[in-house]
Structure 1
Amino acid sequence: MPAKSRTEELRTLIKQVRDGDFDYNSRESPETNWNLYDNAQIKEFANYLNNLRDLVDEADKRIKERTPPKKQSVGRPPIDPADIAKILLLQAYTSSPNRIAEGLLHLFREKLGVYRHFSYKTIERGYDREAVNEILNEIVKITNETVEDKEETYSFDGTGFSASNKENYAAKRQKQSSKKNQKKKKSECANENHDCFPIANTANKMGFSYCVMGVGVQHKLISGMAISPDHSIGETTMFPEVFE
């Protein structure tokens, strides 16, 4: 089937699901082992710190093994990008602002294997460093290696990252999905209404960066992601990039 036909078929399916017309038999809810559940909840944060340290160290090791060493420049050596990556991931896990993240560095530096302190300003600029992003990308590869050939079913969905605290993606999506709103307002994107991302109130440069990602149903690991600031496209337009 041509790619265009597959896309149209997918859009039709999405519309049926959102309209409640798709014939779907839900799975039976599995029984919960509460002893395992309690144990996982109790040890979750400690396990996360251990996994975080080991994953970043492994990613950093792989990158160094395949990258020729760079000549040391004059002046104080820069903060190790692996250390910054560890704090950025801890910050994301705890949903902490930059200053609190610096406090977490004080608290967990030994546990994470970080031996040099750095300020919240370094954390704030962390994603601007290419070496840090390379480590984060390598971590995605490593985590997916652990479930290679074990994950058979994937779920894909779209979301948005707001560039302003005044914008809330979930609220905009809920408003967009209401039948009343759909009747009142025509679609502002190039595709059909059911395929559109919600539109921000603010200017384009301060609205949402739209994102589509795929997640393994069993192991819950992200398998692919596409991000775009283009407000004229729909979710399914970004699907091919996620599949790759």
Structure 2
Amino acid sequence: MLPKHVGEELREIIKKVRDSSFEYEHREKGETDWAKYDSAQIKEMANYLDNLRDIVDEAHNRIQSRTIPVKRSPGRPETNPDDIAKTLLLQTYTESPNRVAEGLLLLFREKLGISKHFSYKTIERGYDRKTVNEILDEVVAIANESVEGKEETFSFDGTGFSASNKENYAAKRQKQNSNKSNKKTKTASFEQKNDSFPKSDTKKGFSYCVMGVGIQHKLISGLAISPNHSIGETTVVTT
């Protein structure tokens, strides 16, 4: 846990950023290598698919090397967690719903080295499987190895993942911030005083998350998820 004064300093910085009183040190605008830019844009999808396949396969091999083999129980074998992880990452990259993700699986199955086709219901339940989440955690670790010792500055931010399609976290946060800036409100509510996450109108609510991202290489360095709906984004960062 960070010292108390560090958390207080962080909250003060966030307050200044939100009321536009924070003094930024502007960086000089760098030159763009348009040849490299064009090449990166053209090859982005192909490179992503290659990297996705190779990194998930490497994550699988590492996990297998440190895991004691367990005799498989009788019955139909489960869908390969590596294949599900690849599909989930492709789904996230393309921002696709589950049914479209199944279509992408048909299209890119051979390219990703996926052993067999499976339905969108398997994709839908993918994050519920411990073995899939273990692979995804290993993928984050592998990705960060490439910038180990090269990243010195990190940025943190909070967000929420809705358990219902009827709610959007960004819209809720925008409404909350709008209420905070309303000059007609003389006394701030408990939610406003404590910088808490916006509240959900449904029983399912949000999964609240804070993550850190490296400023230079833009890789997620770590994240924390809290079930405590009474705390705020800055509280999660400093705990």
Pairwise same-fold verdict (TM > 0.5): yes
Alpha-carbon contact 1:214-1:222 (below 8 Å) kept: yes
* Residue 183 of structure 1: how far off its partner (Å): 4.9
* Letter of the 2:162 counterpart: S
What residue in structure 1 maps to residue 109 of structure 2?
Answer: 109
User: Which deviates more from structure 2 when the two are superposed, residues 128-137 or residues 226-235?
Assistant: 226-235
Alpha-carbon contact 1:154-1:214 (below 8 Å) kept: yes
For residues 94 and 53 of structure 1, what CA distance do their matches in structure 2 show?
Answer: 16
* Residue 118 of structure 1: how far off its partner (Å): 1.3
What residue in structure 2 maps to residue 237 of structure 1?
Answer: 235
What residue in structure 1 maps to residue 226 of structure 2?
Answer: 228
For residues 38 and 85 of structure 1, what CA distance do their matches in structure 2 show?
Answer: 30
Q: Are residues 46 and 182 of structure 1, via their aligned partners in 2, closer, same or farther at CA, if it must alter by over 3 Å? A: farther
* Residue 149 of structure 1: how far off its partner (Å): 0.3
Secondary structure of the residue aligned to 1:89 is helix
Cα RMSD for the two superposed structures: 1.9
What residue in structure 1 maps to residue 139 of structure 2?
Answer: 139
* Residue 146 of structure 1: how far off its partner (Å): 0.9
4+ residue segments displaced more than 4 Å: none
For residues 174 and 122 of structure 1, what CA distance do their matches in structure 2 show?
Answer: 33
Counterpart of 2:212 (choices 207, 211, 214) is 214
Counting only pairs closer than 5 Å after superposition, residues 1-244 of structure 1 correspond to structure 2 as 3-178=3-178, 180-181=181-182, 183-184=184-185, 186-189=188-191, 192-193=193-194, 195-200=195-200, 202-203=201-202, 205-241=203-239
User: Which deviates more from structure 2 when the two are superposed, residues 65-74 or residues 167-176?
Assistant: 167-176
* Residue 227 of structure 1: how far off its partner (Å): 1.4
Secondary structure of the residue aligned to 2:118 is coil
Secondary structure of the residue aligned to 1:206 is coil
Please give the TM-score of this superposition, normalised by the length of structure 1.
0.90
Alpha-carbon contact 1:82-1:135 (below 8 Å) kept: yes
For residues 36 and 128 of structure 2, what CA distance do their matches in structure 1 show?
Answer: 40
Q: Which runs of 5+ in 2 are unaligned?
A: none
Q: Are residues 187 and 94 of structure 1, via their aligned partners in 2, closer, same or farther at CA, if it must alter by over 3 Å? A: same
Deviations 1:46-94 (CA, angstroms, capped at 9, x unpaired)? 1000000000000000000000111022122211110111111111111
Q: Are residues 192 and 51 of structure 1, via their aligned partners in 2, closer, same or farther at CA, if it must alter by over 3 Å? A: same
Alpha-carbon contact 2:7-2:238 (below 8 Å) kept: no
Secondary structure of the residue aligned to 1:49 is helix
Deviations 1:7-51 (CA, angstroms, capped at 9, x unpaired)? 112111211111111122211221212221111111111100000
* Letter of the 1:186 counterpart: A
* Aligned length, in residue pairs: 236
* Residue 182 of structure 1: how far off its partner (Å): 6.5
For residues 153 and 39 of structure 1, what CA distance do their matches in structure 2 show?
Answer: 28
User: Which deviates more from structure 2 when the two are superposed, residues 93-102 or residues 137-146?
Assistant: 93-102
* Residue 100 of structure 1: how far off its partner (Å): 1.4
Alpha-carbon contact 1:175-1:181 (below 8 Å) kept: no
* Residue 225 of structure 1: how far off its partner (Å): 0.6
* Letter of the 1:48 counterpart: Y
Deviations 1:208-236 (CA, angstroms, capped at 9, x unpaired)? 22211100001111011111232211112
* Letter of the 1:41 counterpart: Q
For residues 136 and 75 of structure 1, what CA distance do their matches in structure 2 show?
Answer: 26
